[in-house]
Chains A and B, each alone.
Chain A
Amino acid sequence: GAGVSQSPSNKVTEKGKDVELRCDPISGHTALYWYRQSLGQGLEFLIYFQGNSAPDKSGLPSDRFSAERTGGSVSTLTIQRTQQEDSAVYLCASSPPPHSGRRDTQYFGPGTRLTVL
């Protein structure tokens, strides 16, 4: 079946502009995560959605970052007034429902490579 998809695959923007990154999770997966991966670094957790519960935003680095998930499916990560330090690969992942016994199995999309000039 289809995996996690993300768009765009690459985004180049100018400092100060806003960007929107999109994630389509695997159908039936209730959990959705956003991570950021900088060059030579591990994955940094940003935000987590589980079903209709309030999202866990504890990883968002500043109030310029926000995310929403519409209808329990597609998610959009928005970065306002982008800075050069925002340049990274933004990865989205989804997981099966908690009752599936595999809720820690995260399936990743290919990522969006963001470059802020």
Chain B
Amino acid sequence: QKEVEQDPGPLSVPEGAIVSLNCTYSNSAFQYFMWYRQYSRKGPELLMYTYSSGNKEDGRFTAQVDKSSKYISLFIRDSQPSDSATYLCAMVGDQGSARQLTFGSGTQLTVLP
């Protein structure tokens, strides 16, 4: 079993829809959670960073963390064609000095105009 599970999609939605992207994880040591967006042939870019259970909002994006269920989500409101990309969840524990992230496999999202 992978430490982080993410539905690969592909997910296709009409412009303006609310998008929900999710990851589950098995390692309770994970304390910090991130969502990255990766456009085709580009490196991932950080969208959201959170470390506590609950919601964090940034513009059209909301990150939700439920540590008791080991479940994180990213919601995109009023989705735009420019949101079409692969979305990767990532997480890291608080132990030790190494800070490598553990990534989900990514969900490919297409927002249709």
Give chain A residues whose Cβ lies under 8 Å from the Cβ of B98.
48, 50, 56, 58
A25 within 8 Å of B by Cβ?
Answer: no
Give chain B residues whose Cβ lies under 8 Å from the Cβ of A113.
41
8 Å CB interface, B92-111 against A: 92, 97-106
B43 touches A109 (CB 8 A): yes
Give chain A residues whose Cβ lies under 8 Å from the Cβ of B103.
35, 42-43
B104 touches A42 (CB 8 A): yes
Select from chain A the residue with minimum beta-carbon distance to B102.
A45
Chain A 47-85, CB within 8 Å of chain B: the 1/0 string?
010100100101100000000000000000000000000
B100 touches A107 (CB 8 A): no
Q: How many interface residues does chain B have, given as a range?
A: 20 to 34
Give chain B residues whose Cβ lies under 8 Å from the Cβ of A103.
99
A106 to chain B, nearest CB (A): 6
A87 within 8 Å of B by Cβ?
Answer: no
B97 touches A43 (CB 8 A): no
A111 touches B43 (CB 8 A): yes
Chain A 15-53, CB within 8 Å of chain B: the 1/0 string?
000000000000000010101000011110100101001
B6 touches A42 (CB 8 A): yes
Give the docked Cα–Cα distance between A35 and B41 (Å).
15
Give the docked Cα–Cα distance between A59 and B101 (Å).
12
Chain A 100-114, CB within 8 Å of chain B: the 1/0 string?
000111111111010
With A91-B44, A108-B45: A41-B101 Cβ-Cβ less than 8 Å: no
A4 within 8 Å of B by Cβ?
Answer: yes
With A43-B44, A91-B43: A106-B101 Cβ-Cβ less than 8 Å: yes
List of 9 A-B pairs having minimum Cβ-Cβ separation, nearest first: A108-B43, A42-B103, A42-B105, A45-B100, A43-B103, A56-B98, A108-B44, A110-B43, A104-B32
Would you list 25 pairs from A and B whose C-beta atoms are within 8 A, ordered by A residue?
A31-B99, A35-B103, A42-B6, A42-B88, A42-B104, A42-B105, A42-B106, A43-B88, A43-B90, A45-B102, A48-B98, A48-B100, A53-B97, A56-B98, A91-B43, A91-B44, A103-B99, A104-B34, A107-B46, A108-B43, A108-B44, A108-B45, A109-B43, A110-B43, A111-B41
